[in-house]
A and B are shown apart, each in its own frame.
Chain A
């Protein structure tokens, strides 16, 4: 019997799917035009963790993204993966935000879905890699949180979640009262494959809800660039470290290549 159905929210981000992205040389912000995007891969592990919880305890999963309108297709993909509901939070007033202003909008949007039991985020995004959002949303909503979660179980009577989390050299077990925020470890809970037919059905049966600032009614000084305490003053291509770049073609002469390498490593004082 499932007597602890959980209302789960998974926060996801729509990100450029290539690492070769361009930055506006004047504003120093990301130029999204012309770059194909995907749901942040590390967020799929978070969705998978949510799906496993729902399989065990029942309940519903809402995926939420604060992203440009094109993210709709990403949320449809997640519905194809098994998520029940997709909410796209999108408004020009939310654009160009740093993590502080982004987390504020997300927290306010999540609040509209309360009561909620568990909120899950991916560890970080491939475009900005900050790992900030989970902890920042926890601060706005004043909820307990824990990062690097690999497994979660709901302790039925106590309304608590018991999680395993993985730090470099140790595995820790923590218990959090619900509602709480879990940030899933980057490579845990390998996301399931999605059938194309599911994706198509999802599009027809569960349209994505779009929430703008008409819905949230947030003070515009708290969102977007204006609500961001940090600003990118400039961006430059990462300078390369000077290297000797010496080369030996060893395809015909592996032994010669090895001798050449060892001679050089000896000169470097390494062997």
Chain B
């Protein structure tokens, strides 16, 4: 017995011709506008210049008017405040439906969302409800000369490739952006703009209930904020081996991180993983100990200023992505480096 063909819902109601401008959704759950969200102003400004567009930043939360001027210092032209007690705690579909409504009113050409854990949870829901396309975890943008579509650049297939993705017909174009790939724009406190309090949004009652929250990592420097990161891989051999990684990190006043293999082995937590399925970091100095250097790992250290690698295997691919490579066993090399740092310190 055959069933009737399912009726396809109509394509999204936002027509391409109606759309103007760039909308940046900014997280402000901790009483500040998140740095990852403000980083979005860097690609937004580049795209806005090419398309002769203005940039609107949307702030969601409750009693957030004191944050309203912050985005102007980083390049926003306009700020929209969506202020509601229901936005105090975050639930993906509540924040998502509020953003969908805002987008239907604003009709931006492009919607950017920081690719934080929450951003990547909420954004695909928003895209689907708007019946438009979305590109995840973008690391670059450009504008197609002919179509004026935004080219959304991302690294699929274990970061070995960069794909240039376009949304030819549907609007808004949508992307989540990988944190720490873009620098914060220079702060300019003299910049001003228009603040709009958006009252026309009906925030739904959450269907899911937020019960509680517990902080699990206090007093730890996040690896994405550290100036020096010393990282260990499979070649460290054991959890005990990380003692030496820690010693070197403390000598350089840095933090400890690791490769996927080290994290999978249980030698350190996932929040310290560098690479595509971990974090992109941007330290001044990155030291890779016993890390072979897969494409996924190298992807996470593209923004590091100086990369040092220590590996017993002279053919390890990490040496192709390092400024200073030392062939040797970390068990011999690291103590020698520590001695040398100690010796040079009194002079400094």
Contacts and interface: CB of A to CB of B under 8 A. Distances in A.
A197 interface: no
Contact of B166 (A231, A238, A249): A231
Contacts of A217: 2-6
Secondary structure type dominating chain B contacts: mixed
B216 A129 contact: no
B122, B128, B213, B339 — which one has the most chain A CB atoms within 10 A of its CB? B128
A243 B323 CA distance: 5
A127 B328 CA distance: 33
Given A19-B160, A168-B271, A250-B336, 15 more contacts: A19-B294, A127-B158, A129-B136, A131-B120, A144-B208, A145-B93, A147-B117, A148-B117, A174-B91, A216-B6, A221-B8, A259-B340, A261-B308, A265-B308, A268-B305
Interface residues of A, number: 92
A98 interface: yes
B75 interface: no
Secondary structure type dominating chain A contacts: mixed
B125 A145 contact: yes
B324 A219 contact: no
Interface in B285-311: 285, 294-296, 298-299, 302, 305-308, 310
Contacts of A268: 305-306
Interface string A180-191: 100100110000
A98 B305 CA distance: 35
B328 A257 contact: yes
A125 B312 CA distance: 32
Interface residues of B, number: 104
Interface string B140-160: 000010000001100111111
A187, A217, A257 — which one has the most chain B CB atoms within 10 A of its CB? A257
A162 interface: yes
Interface stretch (B48-56, B184-192, B193-201, B314-322): B314-322
Nearest to B213: A172
Contact of B167 (A28, A230, A257, A262): A230
A40 to B, nearest CB: 12
B137 interface: yes
A27 to B, nearest CB: 12
A240 B306 contact: no
A264 B337 CA distance: 12
Interface in A49-103: 98-100, 103
Contacts of A216: 6
Given A169-B215, A231-B165, A238 B295 contact: yes
A45 interface: no
Contacts of A2: none
Interface string A243-263: 111111111001101111110
A234 B128 contact: no
The 5 closest A-B pairs by CB, nearest first: A19-B158, A229-B133, A250-B328, A230-B133, A139-B128
Interface in A203-251: 216-219, 221-222, 228-241, 243-251
Given A246-B323, A254-B336, A19 B157 contact: yes
Interface in B273-292: 276-277, 284-285
B306 A265 contact: yes
A249 B328 contact: yes
A16, A128, A229 — which one has the most chain B CB atoms within 10 A of its CB? A229
Nearest to B155: A238
Nearest to B7: A219
B285 A108 contact: no
6 contacts: A169-B215, A174-B209, A176-B207, A258-B333, A258-B340, A259-B340
A159 interface: no
B226 interface: no
A135 interface: yes
B117 A100 contact: no
Contacts of A219: 5-8
